[in-house]
Amino acid sequence: MAARVEQSYEEHTKSIDKFGKYVSVEIPYLVFDAADEDAALAAVLGTAPQYCQDLPLETIEIDSRQSETTFRVNARYKDKELSSSDDDDEEDEPTVSFDCGGGSKHLLYSLSQKKSFGTKDAGGAIGWNGKSGDDCEIAGVDIPTAQLRETYTKQMRISKLSTSFKKKVAALVGKVNSGSFQGWSAGEVMFLGMSYSTPAKKAKKVTVTFNFAIQPNESGVKVGGKSVSKKGFEYVWAISKTVVNNGVPKIEVEAIYVDQVCEYASFSALGL
C-alpha cells in the first residue's frame, strides 16, 4: 500500500524580514501507511511543492512518529542566500562532553542461580518468598549499572532562539531518537532539555547547552532464562507463576513483555 500524505491542520511556521518579505516557511504533513522513515520522507518529497511564498524547498525532516506507520514530517522553505549567510555567521561545530557514572537497576531474575540447600526451585527469581498462587512475591535486588550522559554545547545566534524554536525544543524533552543520532542507534538517546543564559551586554551569540541520557539497545537480555531484545528506553517485565511438581513448588516465567514507554521523535530540529 502506498503511503498517503495529508497537510497537517497545525499552524505553519513563517517568518518575514523588516521589509515584509518571507525568509522562511515550515509546513507540517502527516504521512499514513508508511513502511518506515525513508518511505515517509519520500512521500512528502513527492507531494510538497518546490516553492512556497517564492522560497525554495530546503529540507524535509521527520518531526515525530505518531504510530507504527504514521509520521509527522516537516517541509522547510528558506531563501538560499539567507541560508548561506546564516551558516557563515552562526554555525560553529558543537562541542560534546560525555559522562559515565554509577547508577542502579532492579533485577527480579538472576543470570545464573544454583540451589545450595532445600528442594524448592526459584527458577532464577531473586528473593522469592517461597509461596505459590496469589501469595507469591519476588523482592528482587538492586545492582550497580552505568548511567551515560552526553552534553552538547553550541554557539547560536540569539535571533535563532525564537519562541517557535523553544516550543519545538520543549516538545522533544523526554522523547527518544527515532533515527540514528550522533553515532547512537535509534532508541538509545533521550533528550533531557536545553539551557542558556543571555549575556549582560548585548551580543549576537549565546552558548546553548543540550543534555541527553544514553541507554544502549540490548539483545539477548536474560529474563528467567528467556532471551529478550529491547531498545534502550523500552521497559521489560514479566509475569511469573508457581507450579507444583510432586509436592515441590517451582517458579516459572509465564509471559514476558517489552513496552515502549517513551515517544520517538527526530532530533533534527535541535540543529546539532
Phi, psi at 164, each rounded to 5°: -60, -45
How far from each other are the two terminal CA atoms of the chain, in whole angstroms? Answer: 34
pLDDT, greater one: 234 or 18:
234
How are beta strands 189-196 and 205-214 bridged, if at all?
antiparallel
Residue 192, all three cell numbers: 533531557
**Using a CB cutoff of 8 Å and minimum separation of 24, what contacts does 84-91 make?**
86/157, 89/157, 90/155, 90/156, 90/157, 90/160, 90/205
Distance CA 69, CA 1 (A): 11
Phi, psi at 116, each rounded to 5°: -90, -25
168 closest CA partner among 80, 15, 41, 271: 271
How are beta strands 141-157 and 95-107 bridged, if at all?
antiparallel
Name which of 55-69, 123-137, 142-156, 209-223 the model is least confident about. Answer: 123-137
Distance CA 47, CA 44 (A): 5
pTM, two decimals, is 0.58
* Mean pLDDT, rounded, for 26-42: 91
- Per-chain mean pLDDT for the chain: 82
**Beta carbons of 191 and 173 less than 8 angstroms apart:** yes
**Beta carbons of 207 and 195 less than 8 angstroms apart:** no
The 10 Å Cβ neighbour count of residue 141 is 12
- pLDDT tens digits along 46-76: 999 999 988 999 889 888 888 889 998 989 8
pLDDT at residue 210 greater than cutoff 90 = yes
132 burial type by CB count under 10 A (0-12 exposed, 13-18 middle, 19+ buried): middle
